[in-house]
């Protein structure tokens, strides 16, 4: 993401780039980013949060599941298959 260096007046809020004017405004540096880049970052963050939520569900299921006596392998295989499906869906959601 590229930032645009600009100056913003602390009084009126006017933004000027790449350098200050000689007017009566008092300026301070402000970092700006293009709206398109910002929107892309928001979308990527939202997708990452959705993926994290789904993967957290798999981890929670793994942590809270107690197999019956003699059934650990069947439970493990079922959880493994569920995790594979979720990983596939989570990867597709980011594409």
Retrieve residue 21's tokens: 């004017």
Same domain assignment for residues 56 and 81: yes
Secondary structure of residue 13 in the 3-state scheme: coil
Retrieve residue 61's tokens: 């299921």
Bridge partners (DSSP) of residue 4 are 32
Residue 40 belongs to a domain: no
Distances (CA, A) of 77 to 60, 65, 89: 16, 13, 19
The C-alpha atoms of residue 62 and residue 30 are separated, in whole angstroms, by: 47
Q: Which helix (H) or strand (E) holds 32?
A: strand 27-33
Residue 74 belongs to a domain: yes
Residue 26 belongs to a domain: yes
The structural domain count of the chain equals 2
Q: What are the tens digits of pLDDT across the range 37-69?
A: 899 999 999 988 988 898 898 889 888 888 888
For the whole model, what pTM was predicted? Answer: 0.57
Residue percentage of the chain with pLDDT more than 90:
14
Range of the domain at 72: 45-94
């Amino acid at each position: 993401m590229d930032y645009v260096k600009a100056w913003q007046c602390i009084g009126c809020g006017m933004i000027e780039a790449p350098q200050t004017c000689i007017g009566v405004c008092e300026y301070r540096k402000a970092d700006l980013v293009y709206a398109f880049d910002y929107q892309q970052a928001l979308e990527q963050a939202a997708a990452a949060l959705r993926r994290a939520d789904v993967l957290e569900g798999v981890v929670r299921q793994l942590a809270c599941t107690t197999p019956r006596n003699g059934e650990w392998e069947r439970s493990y295989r079922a959880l493994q298959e569920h995790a594979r499906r979720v990983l596939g869906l989570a990867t597709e959601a980011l594409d």
